[in-house]
Every structure is written in structure tokens, then in C-alpha cells.
């Protein structure tokens, strides 16, 4: 997870000119979540302070769309698994972003995971 965090921070730093001040990533089953804090540029912080948070969200969404391939590649390289879905959300107060990646298949060493209702997903087959 450290390499995912480091590379995502690096992409933000390279393309925004400023990266998050704190970041962490977690992997749970087929999901990777990265939380990036403190990454707004001076321009974005000024717009937010002036009540223009919507403009910041729109620019960030456009950026995430343009960068999706690069973000997916970071996670695929680190996990050895294909990213089948990528979702990104920015929050202005507090200043943070969440990058969520859903991976296909299961890692070779993963234990069987059950849904919260106790039933197995169709992909997992019947319970024994």
C-alpha cells in the first residue's frame, strides 16, 4: 500500500504542482482506498474561501477523468490485479480526496469472504 500512496501523491504533486500533505491507502478484499489530505492549491483554496467550491469540484472531476488511466496503472502495478472500477471524490471541508479502486478477481491468498447477510456471492459459489 505504501507504493500506491507514494505514487498517487507523486501524480498529484506533478500535475497540480502541489500534493497532499498526508496520505494513506488500505486494501480490503477486492477494494483499494486511498485518502489524500491537504492537497488544494492556493488558487483552489481561494476559490473555496470565496464560495466557489463547485468550480473546484468540477475542475477536480475533470482532472480525475483525465488521469484515470495513470491512477489505475499505479494500483494494477502494485497489486498485480486489474482495476475494474475507479471512483474519486473531493471534499472541501476538511480538505481531502478519496480514491477508490475495485479490483477484479481475488488475490491468490485471499480467504473466502461472505456478504454481510451471510450468503455467498455468485462468484464465490455455494457454501459448504
The predicted-structure confidence for 23-36, as pLDDT tens digits, reads as follows: 999 999 999 999 99
Direct distance between the N- and C-terminal alpha carbons of the chain, in angstroms, rounded to an integer: 33
The yes-or-no verdict on residue 14 having pLDDT over 70 is: yes
Indicate the pLDDT class of residue 109, thresholds 50, 70 and 90.
low
Contacts of 22 (CB under 8 A, 6+ apart): 36, 37, 38
* pLDDT band, residue 123 (cuts 50/70/90): very low
Per-residue cell: 112: 473466502
Taking the C-alpha atoms of residue 89 and residue 35, their distance in angstroms, rounded to an integer, is: 10
> What is the 8-class DSSP label of residue 54?
H
Amino acid at each position: 500500500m505504501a507504493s500506491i500512496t507514494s505514487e498517487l501523491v507523486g501524480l498529484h504533486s506533478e500535475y497540480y504542482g502541489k500534493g497532499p500533505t498526508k496520505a494513506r491507502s488500505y486494501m480490503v478484499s477486492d477494494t483499494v482506498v486511498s485518502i489524500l489530505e491537504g492537497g488544494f492549491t492556493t488558487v483552489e483554496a481561494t476559490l473555496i474561501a470565496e464560495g466557489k467550491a463547485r468550480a473546484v469540484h468540477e475542475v477536480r472531476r475533470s482532472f480525475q477523468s483525465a488521469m484515470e488511466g495513470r491512477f489505475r496503472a499505479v494500483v494494477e502495478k502494485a497489486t498485480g490485479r486489474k482495476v475494474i472500477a475507479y471512483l474519486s471524490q473531493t471534499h472541501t471541508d476538511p480538505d481531502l480526496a478519496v480514491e477508490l479502486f475495485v479490483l477484479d478477481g481475488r488475490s491468490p491468498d485471499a480467504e473466502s469472504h461472505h456478504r454481510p447477510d451471510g450468503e455467498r456471492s455468485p462468484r464465490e459459489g455455494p457454501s459448504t
